[in-house]
Amino acid sequence: MWSLPKANGPKFAIAVLASLLLASVVASPTDRAAVARSPQPPNNGCYSNSECLSGLCDVGPGSSCTNPDGSYTECSSDPRYNTFCSGYALGQTCTNNGDCREGFCRSGKCTSSKAGDLCSEQYQCTGLLICSTDKKCSTPKNSTVYPDGICSANAQCKSGRCTADRLYKDDDGINQFTLYGRTPLRCDYLNRGQSGCRTFHDCKTGLCEDGKCRAGKDGDSCIMNYNCEHACGKNGSCFTPAANSGRQNEPCIKGDQCISGRCSRGYIDRPSLDRPNHSVQAVDTVCEVSQVGDHCQVNGDCEVGLCRSGVCLLVKTGDKCSASTQCASKQCDTSSSAGSSTRGTCVLANAGTECDNDQYCYSGRCVEPFCGYGYCGPPIDRCTSITPGGTCRTSGDCDGLSGCSAEKKCRHKKSYSCKADIDCLSKNCVKGTCAAAVVKTTTSSMRSSSRTSTTRSTTLVNPTTHTYQSSSTTKPTSI
């Protein structure tokens, strides 16, 4: 029970009591559990070693807990716990096989395994014993365990290496990554020159021929470059790449085999070695696309620009183009009317186009746009827009509030602010806001003895070009 200070009076005592009560209420589940819980048996949730009868709180989460027979199972899904009590060490008291960190529970104690013991998991077989495929603890003979098989000593493996660092291969036999410090120990894959392979799956690299792992020769079937002496083609055959010949995404081993001069990791599709009619996508070393200044043979070799005299170059403003990626300004005029002098040529970029410097923008300004709050992605400079009243070519030169008028000036669109009619595309400023265009109508009547025809002339705004057009309609009317 708490003792309350008296020197400062009853109000101070009440305040202290309130703070202590509040602290006990808001204490974390971890703090409360650590105070209240006694040491727990294996597979129970824990926060520290002192909470476990085994003295270790280091299991899970996931399928790391055990059933009474010792087989693995999912740990509790209780959200309060991320770790669970480990099993007992050899010699400690137990109630079932699942209580033991290794070995079996015999006569109430965790004991080492013996050859012939029935096992559910490898951890139950101690010493040099392994849990074999027939679920019995046994000692493999020397050089009998194939790659990725469970082992307890180097001599048991055909590769001669029993390791905790496991190379993971996918179902198509492609090396993916290495898992370090794993249990149970497993036999490593065979290196080139080692014997004992059944298929290329048993080889760390290379192919399996007559029971030995070796590098594939030109013409041999392959699925990765490391299967071959040189490279593995897109058709799944080993070949020797010619110098400076590889185009984008074609296999390579080094940069001088590529037109671009650069060889790096990228995706490539090849036929599966196990299922030849099935295509497999993998990451391998392939040629990069040529950039500006890189060597090229045809336009398609260049990511941007065109191939001129064997080098990728950007097209300058006014020269012919077929795509914006070819232009230094990053804009090729492909939308103007057929008779336009700029159609099919590189032009100065309109508002919002990515840019490198001011000279490529119609507005004359290339800046990094204002981002506002939060992350807006990597900084990219863009051409600014023409301000209202400025000269434009199309509405793409103006900001989002404006369009390009028939007089080639940026004017405000409907519903945006204005001071005079001249500020609006519609030429109609009403109470400080651009309104719809005024439709002017004139009617003249011509009367004859038998019929009267009424002619109506209307001035309209073309919604596409924002230009004005006149239409006349003659409507006969009976008297």
Q: Render pLDDT for 254-286 as a digit per residue (tens, 0 to 9).
A: 999 999 999 999 999 999 999 989 999 999 999
Indicate the residue among 131, 159, 193 that finishes a domain: 131
Residue 304 lies in a domain: no
Is the bond into 476 cis (omega within 30 degrees of 0)? no
Residue 357 lies in a domain: no
**Averaged pLDDT for residues 351-371:** 92
Decide: 299 and 307 in contact? Cβ < 8 Å: yes
Report if residue 92 sits inside a domain: yes
The rounded distance, in Å, linking the Cα atoms of 408 and 410 is 7
| Between residues 64 and 330, the one the model is more confident about | 330
Place of tokens 């290196």: 191
Residue 374 pLDDT level (bands cut at 50, 70, 90): low
pLDDT value, residue 78: 86
Q: Say whether pLDDT at 331 is over 70.
A: yes
375 vs 18, 356, 366, 368, 384, CA distance in Å? 44, 22, 21, 14, 21
276 upstream amide cis, omega within 30 of 0: no
CA–CA dist 134, 392 (Å, integer) = 82
Q: Which residue reads 């001069």 in tokens?
A: 261
pTM above 0.85, yes or no: no
Residue at 287 is within a domain: no
- Residue matched to tokens 């080889």: 203
Residue 359 lies in a domain: no
pLDDT at 224 over 80: yes
- Rounded to an integer, the average pLDDT of 297-310 is 96
Positive or negative, the Cα torsion across 58, 61, 67, 73? negative
Domain count, the chain: 2
Looking at mean pLDDT, say which of 30-44, 78-92, 462-476 comes out highest: 78-92
For residue 76, the model assigns a pLDDT of 87
Count CA atoms within 13 Å of residue 314 on its CB side.
17
d(CA 82, CA 60): 7
How far is residue 22 CA from its own chain's centroid? Answer: 46
251 band by pLDDT with thresholds 50, 70 and 90: very high
Does position 473 have pLDDT exceeding 70, yes or no?
no
CA distance linking residue 230 with residue 166, whole number of Å: 26
Q: Are 344 and 335 in contact (CB under 8 A)?
A: no
Q: How confident is the model at residue 443 (pLDDT cuts 50, 70, 90)?
A: low
Least confident segment among 185-189, 193-197, 215-219, 438-442: 438-442
Calculate what percentage of the chain has a pLDDT beyond 70: 83
In-domain check, residue 465: yes
Look at residue 63 in the predicted model and tell me its pLDDT: 74
Say if residue 159's pLDDT is above 80: yes
User: For the residues 50-55, what does the mean pLDDT come to?
Assistant: 96
In the predicted structure, residue 341 carries a pLDDT above the cut 50: yes
- Span 435-441, average pLDDT: 84
Of 34-38, 201-205, 307-311, which gets the smallest average pLDDT? 34-38
Please give the pLDDT value at position 370: 78
Confidence tier at 442 by pLDDT (50, 70, 90): low
Q: What pLDDT, on a 0 to 100 scale, did the predictor assign at position 129?
A: 94
Give which of 320, 369, 361, 371 is closest to 344, Cα–Cα: 320
- Does residue 393 have a pLDDT over 50? yes
End-of-domain residue from the set 131, 152, 186: 131
Instruction: Identify the weakest region by mean pLDDT among 36-45, 285-294, 383-392.
Output: 36-45
Q: Is the pLDDT of residue 315 over 90?
A: yes
**Comparison of pLDDT for 455 and 103, the residue scoring more:** 103
Is 16 inside any structural domain?
Answer: no
Q: How confident is the model at residue 33 (pLDDT cuts 50, 70, 90)?
A: very low
Lowest-confidence region among 29-33, 125-129, 385-389? 29-33
Task: Give the pLDDT confidence score for residue 447 in this predicted structure.
Answer: 41
CA 15 centroid distance within chain:
55
Query: What tokens does 461 get?
Result: 């705004």
Domain region containing 121: 37-131
Asked if residue 423 is part of any domain, the answer here is yes
Which amino acid is residue 340, in one-letter code? Answer: S
Mean pLDDT across the chain: 86
pLDDT higher than 60, residue 229 = yes
- Find out whether 386 and 362 touch, Cβ atoms under 8 Å: yes
